[in-house]
Amino acid sequence: MSVLAQIAQEGLPAADQQNIEAAGGAGMAYGLAAIGPGIGIGYLVGQAVQAMARQPESAGQVQTTMFLGIAFTEALALIGFVVFILLKFV
Amino acid sequence: MNAPANPLAMRMEGPSPAVEVAKDLARRGALIAPVAAMVGALFWGTHGAASVAYALAIVVVNFLLAAWSLGFAARISIALMAGVALFGFLIRLGLITLAVLLVRDAAWVELIPLGLTLIITHLGLLFWEMRFVSASLAFPGLKPKPGLDAAQASNSPTISDLSETKEHQ
């Protein structure tokens, strides 16, 4: 407890502070990068379900297209993740 | 336009098309793996090749997991499939993060080729697959039929045959 109090009084060393800020920034970038694809996949799947409900005979084709759409949208999140690991660890 | 059915009551039967697409992606991934590993080895040595192979394995497993979960959920209900697609995205993103963070300090890991391979192979395999999927959607006669042998397959119409037929019409 006394160590924590001492840190709080003196503040962290500049290098540690910088590392914490970099980690926070990279983590926030990754989180933000996952929001867009999340919205995209939600919209995509909603429309696909609607299409399947309207035309059940073409459900197979719709599912194929939906799967490819999800995978393409996921690529955006993957790019965010790769930027995160490159910023954080390289 | 048909009246929409209730998605809660709808379910898909038979083999999942998403699983078929994912298996095809995995096959193509296996085809490009040696070339990708060689490119990794060329720029980053053996560690680069190992990292590229690991990233390619992550991409392929991610595709297979996504397709299997979608196919499994679609057999229960279309609405469940929608839920699985959304939460599956988060779970698989977490698994990819875990898979990379677990090995990031390993001696054989080079993060730059690993990250680049994740993006390039994911997009590359998808574009490659998309060409075939869009062709089979536009020309259903090209779709491979189950149990079709090579002799029959050679008699099947090709894209150019179908294009010519369309032009004549």
Taking the alpha carbons of B150, B156, B159, B160 in that order, is the dihedral positive or negative? positive
For residues B128 and B167, state if they share a domain: no
Domain of residue B164 covers 141-169
For residues B94 and B147, state if they share a domain: no
Scanning every residue of chain A, which has its alpha carbon at the shortest distance from the alpha carbon of B82? A45
* pLDDT of the residue at B63: 95
Looking at the structure of chain B, the number of domains it has is: 2
Check if B61 contacts A (Cβ < 8 Å): no
The pTM score is: 0.79
d(Cα A50, Cα B112) in Å, to the nearest integer? 41
For residues B79 and B145, state if they share a domain: no
CB contact under 8 A, A67 and B67: yes
* pLDDT of the residue at A25: 82
Using DSSP's 3-state secondary structure scheme, residue B157 falls into coil
On whether residue B72 sits in a domain, the answer given is yes
For residues B59 and B107, state if they share a domain: yes
For chain B, which residues score pLDDT lower than 70?
A: 1-4, 7, 138-169
**CATH fold of the domain at A34-90:** F1FO ATP Synthase (1.20.20)
Residue B22 with chain A: CB contacts under 8 Å:
67
Q: What are phi and psi of B6, to 5 degrees?
A: -80, 115
On whether residue B11 sits in a domain, the answer given is no
Q: Output the six-digit token pair for A56.
A: 């059940």
For residues B38 and B97, state if they share a domain: yes
On whether residue B77 sits in a domain, the answer given is yes
**ipTM of the predicted structure?**
0.78
pLDDT in tens, B7-51: 677 888 878 889 989 999 999 999 999 999 999 999 999 999 999
d(Cα B123, Cα B12) in Å, to the nearest integer? 28
What part of A 17-76 touches B (C-beta under 8 Å)? 34, 37-38, 41-42, 45-46, 48-50, 52-56, 59-61, 63-68, 70-72, 74-75
